[in-house]
Amino acid sequence: MMNAAENVANKGYLFENFRLFHLKDRRAQQVETHYHEFHKILVFYSGNVEYIIEGVVYSPQAGDILFVPANAIHKPLISAEEDYERAVFWVRPSYLEAISGEDANVGECFDVSSARRACLYHPEEESQSRIKKLIAGLERTMGEERFGSRLLADSLFLQLMIEFNRCVLEEKPARAGSIDPKIEEAINYINKNLAMDLSVDALAGMCYLSRYYFMRRFKESTGYTVHNYICQKRLTAAARLLEEGEGITEAAMSVGFSEYSSFLRSFKKLFGLTPSEYLVRKGELSSSYGE
């Protein structure tokens, strides 16, 4: 069992197509609110934990599957009352695109979870059994150096993604709770209207809250100030546009940055690279994995 993955996760770096951690421990963990550029899937075996994803609270049970889309702001609340066992997948979005077929987009589970704002699902027992067997087989295969091991691991992972997607598309999402319905309303509006006026006054007015009460509740609910949350969402959206071929200035304007210099400073602060350097780095990673 690997126990360091949750600490590594805060850095948000993934250079493989996918990575699997199988974790089991009993300790209260203080994990800060964070996000990743990759997708994350958690399959729960046991434990007492809550997950807060974009202001929505999930309480997973044994057998549940939690989907954390790329760039979704999230935080686990972990109790030490019992063993917490889970399988954690980190997945590159571009890899899911590469292995999808004409009749099956294996990244759809993340698209649907985001659109529904419903990230937790409980598969039927038969599906749970298949998923656990596939995970066990994938763990064995990834630990081997035999003929065809990598190809077999990719095949097992694809089978898992099909199971995960069928669960999302065929099962109702598990019940979840919002920290604050008004803050959830604001989060929904922000993510759908990045190019619009997202001033604190405008958002607070939309929620019929005072400016200062809104700011305080937003920080308590998300772990981010209103300004930092909006800035991060705009920057990650701009990064996606750049990867899709949009020009730097056009991408900045499309997500609501009115000043180019402000966009450049903010982009470098978040990603550690200028937009041009970011594109070069992404191209190098794609070339390294044959995409």
Q: The domain that contains 224 carries what CATH number?
A: 1.10.10.60
Domain housing 187: 179-287
pLDDT tens-digit readout, 83-138: 999 999 999 998 999 999 888 999 999 999 988 889 999 999 999 999 999 999 99
| 157, 139 Cβ separation under 8 angstroms | no
Torsion of CA 241, 247, 252, 258, to 10 degrees: -150
Last residue of a domain, one of 177, 205, 240: 177
**Looking at the structure, do residues 226 and 149 belong to the same domain, yes or no?**
no
Residues of the chain with pLDDT under 50: 1-11, 288-291
pLDDT of residue 28: 67
Shared-domain flag, residues 160 and 196: no
Task: Answer with the one of 131, 159, 177 that is the final residue of a domain.
Answer: 177
Q: Is the same domain home to 118 and 259?
A: no
Final residue belonging to a domain, choices 177, 209, 232: 177
Residue 10 has a pLDDT of 33
Sign of CA dihedral 45, 47, 52, 57: positive
Same-domain status, 159 and 236: no
pTM comes to 0.82
pLDDT at 123: 93
pLDDT value, residue 286:
56
Residues 141 and 45 in one domain: yes
Q: Classify 290 as helix, strand or coil.
A: coil
How many angstroms separate the CA atoms of 178 and 231, rounded? 22
The pLDDT value recorded for residue 82 is: 86
- Exposure string of 109-135, with b = 16+ CB inside 10 Å and e = fewer, is bbebbbeebbbbbbbeeebbebbeebb
Residue 208 sits in the same domain as residue 135: no
| CATH code for position 12 | 2.60.120.280
Structural contact between residues 152 and 106, judged by C-beta atoms closer than 8 angstroms: no
Same domain? For 16 and 123 the reply is: yes
For residues 237 and 159, membership in a common domain is answered with no
Q: What span, in angstroms and rounded, lies between the C-alpha atoms of 20 and 118? A: 23
Q: Are residues 171 and 38 in the same domain?
A: yes
Same domain, 141 and 232: no
Structural domains counted in the chain: 2
